[in-house]
Amino acid sequence: MDIVQFSALVESLYEAAVAPMGWQGISTRIATAFNAGSCALQIRDTAAPQTAITSFTDNYDAKSLSDYENYFHARDPYVEAGLKAGIGIPLLSHEVITERDFLKSELYYDFGKRIGVCHLVGAMLPINASSIGGIGIHRAHDRPVFSPEDKQNFGLLLPHLIRALQMHHRLNGIDRQRQIGFEALEALGIGVVAVNEFGKVLFANRVASALLQTGQGITISQGHLRAEIAARNPPLQKAMQDAGRMRRGTSISAGGLIALPRRMGEPLSLLICPAPADALGGDLDGTTAIIFVNNPDSERSPSHAALMSQFGLTPAEAKLAAGLLDGDQLEEYASRSGVSLHTVKTQLKQVFAKTGCTRQAEFIRLALSNPVLRLCRSY
């Protein structure tokens, strides 16, 4: 491998590190660079006997992947030797096991022979506290063994491979955390909007998007957050700007609570909070404020299923409980539900018995003070 090939291979490693699916093709590049027909990159869980092949050449079909991950990963002499030699130490196959013994092994006879895996240059790779990697570059039995020069070239590539792999896993972990964060924001029963200090909307969850489309209380004008009533724009803009200045360390004022009157209905409540640096990542790195929006019109009681699960209520009792949380009086609920007032009062006694409450107000306070129940809205 000349310097041009080596440089191109190193460049492809770092490109793969920052690409979500970048490692899928990296094994083919490595195999080609070492004049080999096979290459596989595996990840091993240090706390459990689990292994996954995450990058591989075309000789690994579905059966080969399944066989290795479910059985042969625990019977691979190259992995055993790599762990004994030390993480990050390059090895040739004949330094691990004689060719004669390997050809007699279960790994070769039932696995490697079929896909052309015999001679090897490889190493175990450090990733993080919970996982280690392993890479094997292979040639079939009828091909030449890897030479000391191949091992030397692999040793030069190894530090770059380790760094790129660690970067890839770290970035993937961050992406997963961000995705979980976005899913959590979407699940909230209140609106969430991410803005920069000029009020440009960078993200709005499902609840906020629905509210912004109505234009009641707040709206979007040319991509920026605006109050429906123009007189309320200055305090809204100031709160967003203060959040941006605080993140830069040029202000001690930090957003705050703002009420936005509407032409129809009760005012909206907005809580404006400075966002930590790079809070949401990706295209949202410019976020300086997270705004929580409560719309009185969108208030819903917890779902019947949530009330049944939390308090052990029957379907009929949960339906009554939801009605109380929505503000129904017993007489109104009985009339709307088509049941007698006597039946409703009997159901209410059961609700009280199961929740430990003695009054409607006490039950309502109990249910609405539970933040998890409030997430389980009925829609």
89 pLDDT higher than 80: yes
Question: Looking at the domain assignment, is residue 58 inside a domain?
Answer: yes
Domain boundary residue among 150, 176, 202?
176
pLDDT of residue 267: 87
Q: 85 φ, ψ to 5°? A: -70, -30
> What would the mean pLDDT of 127-155 be, rounded to a whole number?
91
Percentage of residues of the chain with pLDDT beyond 90? 20
pLDDT score for 128? 81
pLDDT range class, residue 184, cuts 50, 70, 90: low
Mean pLDDT across the chain: 82
Q: Which strands form 289-294's sheet, in the order they lie side by side?
A: 201-204, 191-195, 289-294, 268-274, 256-260
146 shares a domain with 195: no
Residue 371 — very low, low, confident or very high, per pLDDT cuts 50/70/90? low
336: left (phi over 0), alpha (psi -120 to 50) or beta: alpha
pLDDT tier at 180, thresholds 50, 70, 90: low
User: Do 9 and 126 sit in the same domain of this protein?
Assistant: yes
Whether residue 183 lies inside any domain: the answer is no
| Tokens matching residue 140 | 């079939």
Q: Are 138 and 119 in contact (CB under 8 A)?
A: yes
Question: Which of residues 176, 200, 215 is at a domain's end?
Answer: 176
- Does 16 share its domain with 144? yes
User: Tokens 């015999």 correspond to what residue?
Assistant: 118
280/312 same-domain check: no
Domain-terminating residue out of 298, 328, 354? 298
Indicate whether 154 and 213 sit together in one domain: no
pLDDT at 379 over 50: no
Domain check: are 165 and 262 in the same one?
Answer: no
pTM, two decimals, is 0.52
Is residue 182 situated within a structural domain?
A: no
Q: Kindly indicate the confidence band of residue 83, based on its pLDDT and cuts at 50, 70 and 90.
A: confident
The CATH number given to whatever domain includes residue 343 is: 1.10.10.10
- My answer on whether 348 and 239 are in the same domain is no
DSSP 112: I
Mean pLDDT of 194-209: 84
Q: What is the average per-residue pLDDT within 309-321?
A: 89
Residue 40 reports pLDDT greater than 90: yes
Residues 159 and 255 in one domain: no
User: Does residue 320 share a domain with residue 290?
Assistant: no
Residue 154 belongs to a domain with what CATH number? Answer: 3.30.450.80
Q: Count the Cβ atoms, other than its own, within 10 Å of residue 71.
A: 13
Does residue 305 or residue 372 have the better pLDDT?
A: 305
Model pLDDT for residues 244-268, shown as the tens digit of each residue: 777 665 555 566 778 888 888 788 8
Per the model's pLDDT, the better-predicted residue between 378 and 38 turns out to be 38
Write the DSSP symbol of residue 147. P
Residue 162 is assigned to a structural domain of this protein: yes
The domain tally of the chain equals: 3
Residue 99 lies in a domain: yes
Asked if 88 and 158 count as a contact pair (C-beta separation under 8 A), the reply is: yes
pLDDT 10s digits, 273-293? 777 645 555 455 567 788 888
Query: What is the domain extent for residue 111?
Result: 3-176
Res 366: pLDDT = 84
What integer pLDDT is reported at residue 302 of this predicted model? 73
Nearest by Cα to 273 from 293, 253, 255, 250: 255
Query: Do 102 and 209 sit in the same domain of this protein?
Result: no
Residue 181 lies in a domain: no
pLDDT tier for residue 57 given thresholds of 50, 70 and 90: very high
pLDDT band at 129 (very low <50, low <70, confident <90, very high): confident
